[in-house]
Amino acid sequence: MPVLLAESQRRHLEQLLGSAVRSVATVAGGDINDSYRIGLSDGRRLFVKTKRHPPPHFYAREAEGLAFLAAGLAAEVLRVPAVIAYSPAALVLEFLDLAPPSPEVDERLGRGLADLHRASPGRFGLAQDNYIGTLPQENGELSRWAEFYGQARLLAQARLRQAERLLDRTLRRRLERLVARLDDLVGEPEPPARLHGDLWGGNWLSTKQGPFLVDPAVYGGHREVDLAMMRLFGGFSERVFQAYAEAMPLSVGHEERVYLYQLYLRLVHVNLFGAAYLGVVIRIGTRYS
């Protein structure tokens, strides 16, 4: 549960926003940040994310990720929340009034995601590293998708401390064999897509203004990564996938690559949550290696 906003945090927000904080209410959300709805003396209602001891540039990278997504979106179809302000200690966004999902919202989400993926950033990766959850996400910019996915996604996660401890020699060799085969596994070449990067069901919102994407872990990558993550835990209706495919047809063999592209997030879960996720990593590694 989020704790009450500390007086020092309140003062920081007032300085950052140039207005007195008149009301504070906790907002349910993820397990990384404490989240609040605040009311200011100038009449604004805003959404605030903060946490104790965030990693370096944590909120700056998120603000930049939202801008990266916004550059590829048509606001009347799919949107991201406006960034009001950020600092090393907090991120302040526009407050969104939620509404139940509907067929129209699902349609807009699918078509908007296709628009986002078509707005290629030109290279695989990103000019600077960022985060997925609280984990560092290695980027760099490469011209070949198989190389980027193997080195900057799968093997980079395998080198982090928790995975380094939990992945035994057999599993590590299996993962290395899979990476060596990626040129044959990743499908036909496609232009780099503008990816959300962590698109599970909790990272989109149905609002009175339509669908919004939140909590990005952006980079240029294969569009099937976002689509595979969307199928990991549910939270997206089949109409979303249908609308996407109508707007941007999927490549031949995409069904065979779903687990391949879920492997990255599974390794992220090993590093965040431990050995409970090793079994599925083993199964995926066996399937493709």
* The domain boundary residue, chosen from 62, 94, 126: 94
Judge if 90 and 107 occupy the same domain. no
Q: Could you tell me where the beta strands, DSSP code E, fall in the chain?
A: 21-26, 34-40, 45-50, 83-87, 90-94, 124-126, 130-132, 135-137, 140-142, 193-195, 204-207, 210-213, 219-221
Judge if 84 and 121 occupy the same domain. no
Tell me, yes or no, whether 45 lies in a domain. Answer: yes
Tell me, yes or no, whether 129 lies in a domain. Answer: yes
Q: What is the CATH number of the domain that holds 81?
A: 3.30.200.20
Judge if 137 and 168 occupy the same domain. yes
Task: Pick the closest to residue 174 from 267, 258, 272 (CA basis).
Answer: 267
Task: Pick the closest to residue 220 from 45, 72, 5, 98 (CA basis).
Answer: 72
Tell me, yes or no, whether 251 lies in a domain. Answer: yes
Q: What's the CA gap between 13 and 279, in Å, rounded? A: 44
- The tokens of 39 are what? 């009311």
Judge if 109 and 89 occupy the same domain. no
Could you tell me the sign of the dihedral formed by the alpha carbons of 238, 240, 242, 245, in that order?
negative
Judge if 54 and 143 occupy the same domain. no
Judge if 119 and 223 occupy the same domain. yes
Judge if 162 and 49 occupy the same domain. no
CB 163 within 8 A of CB 277: no
* The domain boundary residue, chosen from 94, 121, 140: 94
- Give 38's strand partners: 24, 46
Q: How many domains does the chain have?
A: 2
Tell me, yes or no, whether 161 lies in a domain. Answer: yes
- Return the amino acid letter for 260: L
Tell me, yes or no, whether 281 lies in a domain. Answer: yes
Judge if 24 and 69 occupy the same domain. yes
Tell me, yes or no, whether 1 lies in a domain. Answer: no
* The domain boundary residue, chosen from 39, 62, 94: 94
Judge if 253 and 218 occupy the same domain. yes
pLDDT tens by residue, the chain, 289 residues: 445 788 999 999 999 999 999 999 999 866 789 999 999 999 999 999 999 899 999 999 999 999 999 999 977 899 999 999 999 999 999 999 999 999 999 999 999 999 999 999 999 999 999 999 999 999 998 989 999 999 999 999 999 999 999 999 999 999 999 999 999 999 989 999 999 999 999 999 999 999 999 999 999 999 999 999 999 999 999 999 999 999 999 999 999 999 999 999 999 999 999 999 999 999 999 999 8
Bridge-based pairing of strands 90-94 and 83-87 is antiparallel
Q: Which domain holds residue 57?
A: 7-94
Q: What's the CA gap between 288 and 144, in Å, rounded? A: 20
Judge if 183 and 254 occupy the same domain. yes
- Give me the catalytic one of 115, 198, 215, 226: 198
CB 189 within 8 A of CB 145: yes
Q: What is the CATH number of the domain that holds 251?
A: 3.90.1200.10
Our answer to whether residue 198 is catalytic in this structure is yes
Judge if 57 and 37 occupy the same domain. yes
The phi-psi region of residue 234 (left if phi > 0; otherwise alpha if psi is between -120 and 50; otherwise beta) is left
CB 218 within 8 A of CB 129: no
Tell me, yes or no, whether 2 lies in a domain. Answer: no
pTM for the predicted model, two decimal places: 0.95
